[in-house]
């Protein structure tokens, strides 16, 4: 059934279709309507889940870790400061291998206050052992929540996943979404039956103290399983397209990259704008393409390194991490190490500022110029009022 809904509504519908058993919620803009939709579904009896009203995001995640230990499929959603408050328990969730799935309405983190969209909250949590899926549109949000459960709960993975939904741009914008049949979702997503869980007949301690003689082995298993998740994500995407008739190209969606002189790497909704502008420039004969990072964790190093045969790779970061350029830029540049590609970082769309077609056109033209003349500067802030954002 096709319906016109927001991405937040789509995320809540996905939770219902996934038959989540325990949901724990706490409000924060622009996530809140996910929790509200879920509350309606539970109160109408459409979703048979325990619905816990928490007193903070930290507690919401803690409750889900407890519930997941018992063997329940769990769900919450958050944003910004809520995600930051969860930081400690995000690492607990991955460390004790609880496959919680959580949409994140990507937003700034204060101060000063700003409630609008960017990727800083998500990027700041890139190293906590969670998979991170970025979505381009509302349909992809619904589909990715289902895929995320399938991958996260795979016994060879058992790691939690964030589904990144651009704040307001997707969370509050209505678009046509094909809502799949429950029967097909049930076929795609098996019942959650974790290999390790609470067992009253065989009492064990879960998450207890590990000494130095074993800690590294536990960490290594997480690292290895995160690597292994890449293959599982590709399989989950293929299987999704077999059952539902749509797929997303695995970890990186490539758009016109094959013969491109300049490829822009971008995540989230801005990819839509980039693709549209790339099409227009191609009509003029410019050979440009877009590589959309769908999955940032695990990092798609192989896919990115294959871009190394192009003259120029630009990386658009919708956040800034106060290091040597943006976070995505640094990982892409690292994956391209040893290739001849020139790599340049573009920072834009922070704090809810629109990423317009004009911005994207400027970036593509700059990339083509860099491809011809060589790198002028490493980092360029796009769309600053006085145009001075470069070094």
Partner 1 sequence: MSDGERKGRFTIPHEELMYPGHSACPGCGEPIAMRMLLKALGPRTVINIPAGCCAVIPGVWPRYSLRVPMIDHAFECTGATSSGIRAALDVKGLDDVTVVGWAGDGGTVDIGLQSLSGAVDRGTDFLYVMYDNEAYMNTGVQCSGATPCGAWTTTTPAGKEMACRRGKKRILEMMVENGIVYGATANIAYPEDLIERVRTAKSIRGPKFLHILSPCPSGWRMDPSKTIEAASLATRTGMFPLYEYRDGQYRFTKEIKNLKPVEHYLRLQGRFKHLTPAQVAEIQDLIVGELEVLKAKVEAGRK
Q: Which residues bind partner 1 (CB under 8 A)?
A: 21-22, 24, 49-50, 52-56, 58-60, 62-72, 74, 88-89, 92, 96, 198-200, 203-211, 214
CB of 34 to partner 1, least distance (A): 19
CB of 97 to partner 1, least distance (A): 13
Tell me which DSSP letter residue 298 carries.
S
Contact 139, 187 (CB under 8 A): no
Q: Which is nearer to partner 1, 193 or 284 (CB)?
A: 193
Residue 310: C-alpha distances to residues 134, 221, 260, 389 (Å): 24, 35, 7, 26
CB of 53 to partner 1, least distance (A): 7
Q: Which is nearer to partner 1, 22 or 274 (CB)?
A: 22
What does the block give as tokens for 256? 């016109």
Q: Report the run of H or E that residue 282 belongs to, with start and end.
A: helix 270-283
CB of 202 to partner 1, least distance (A): 9
Q: Which is nearer to partner 1, 202 or 385 (CB)?
A: 202
CB of 54 to partner 1, least distance (A): 6
The residue whose two tokens read 């009203």 is 53
Contact 274, 268 (CB under 8 A): no
Q: Which is nearer to partner 1, 70 or 243 (CB)?
A: 70
The residue whose two tokens read 């995160």 is 226
Q: Which is nearer to partner 1, 52 or 243 (CB)?
A: 52
Q: Which residues does residue 292 pair with via DSSP β-bridges, in sequence order?
A: 253, 266
Q: Which residues does residue 241 pair with via DSSP β-bridges, in sequence order?
A: none
Q: Which is nearer to partner 1, 26 or 168 (CB)?
A: 26
Task: State how far the Cα of 97 lies from the Cα of 160, in Å rounded to an integer.
Answer: 7
CB of 109 to partner 1, least distance (A): 20
CB neighbourhood size of 52 (10 A): 16
CB of 68 to partner 1, least distance (A): 7
Backbone φ and ψ of 325, nearest 5° = 90, 175
What does the block give as tokens for 82? 């809520």
Q: Which is nearer to partner 1, 78 or 138 (CB)?
A: 78
Task: State how far the Cα of 340 lies from the Cα of 325, in Å rounded to an integer.
Answer: 20
Contact 316, 278 (CB under 8 A): no
What does the block give as tokens for 284? 């003029």
Contact 257, 341 (CB under 8 A): no
CB of 77 to partner 1, least distance (A): 16
Q: Which is nearer to partner 1, 174 or 216 (CB)?
A: 216
What value, to the nearest 5°, has the Cα angle with vertex 379 and ends 376 and 380?
A: 85
CB of 71 to partner 1, least distance (A): 6
Show Cβ contacts of residue 144 under 8 Å, excluding neighbours closer than 6 positions.
Answer: 133, 135, 163, 248
Q: Which is nearer to partner 1, 60 or 142 (CB)?
A: 60
């Amino acid at each position: 059934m096709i319906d016109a809904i927001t991405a937040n509504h789509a995320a809540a519908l996905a939770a219902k279709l996934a038959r989540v058993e325990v949901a724990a919620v706490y409000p924060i803009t622009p996530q809140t309507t996910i929790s509200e939709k879920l509350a309606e579904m539970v109160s109408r009896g459409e979703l048979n889940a325990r619905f816990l009203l928490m007193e903070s995001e930290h507690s919401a995640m803690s409750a889900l870790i407890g519930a997941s230990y018992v063997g329940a499929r769990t769900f919450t959603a958050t944003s910004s400061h809520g995600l930051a408050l969860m930081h400690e328990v995000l690492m607990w969730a991955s460390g004790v291998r609880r496959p919680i799935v959580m949409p994140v309405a990507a937003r700034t983190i204060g101060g000063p206050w700003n409630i609008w969209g960017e990727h800083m909250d998500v990027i700041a949590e890139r190293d906590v052992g969670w998979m991170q899926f970025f979505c381009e549109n509302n349909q992809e949000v619904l589909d990715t929540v289902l895929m995320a459960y399938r991958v996260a709960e795979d016994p060879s993975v058992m790691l939690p996943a964030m589904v990144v939904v651009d704040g307001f741009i997707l969370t509050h914008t209505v678009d046509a979404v094909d809502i799949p049949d429950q029967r097909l979702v049930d076929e795609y997503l098996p019942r959650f039956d974790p290999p390790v869980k609470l067992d009253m007949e065989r009492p064990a301690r879960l998450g207890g103290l590990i000494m130095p003689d074993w800690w590294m082995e536990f960490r290594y298993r997480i690292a290895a399983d995160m690597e292994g998740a890449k293959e599982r994500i590709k399989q989950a995407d293929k299987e999704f397209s077999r059952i539902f008739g749509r797929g997303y190209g695995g970890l990186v969606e490539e758009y016109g990259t094959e013969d491109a002189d300049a490829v822009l790497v971008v995540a989230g909704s801005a990819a839509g704008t980039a693709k549209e502008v790339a099409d227009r420039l191609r009509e003029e004969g410019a050979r440009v393409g877009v590589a959309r990072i769908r999955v940032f964790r695990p990092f798609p190093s192989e896919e990115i390194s294959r871009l190394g045969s192009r003259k120029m790779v630009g990386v658009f970061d919708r956040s800034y991490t106060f290091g040597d350029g943006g976070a995505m830029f640094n990982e892409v540049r690292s994956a391209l190490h040893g290739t001849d590609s020139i790599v340049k970082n573009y920072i834009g769309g922070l704090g809810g500022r629109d990423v317009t077609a004009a911005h994207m056109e400027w970036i593509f033209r700059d990339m083509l110029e860099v491809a011809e003349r060589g790198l002028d500067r490493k980092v360029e802030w796009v769309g600053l009022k006085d145009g001075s954002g470069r070094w």
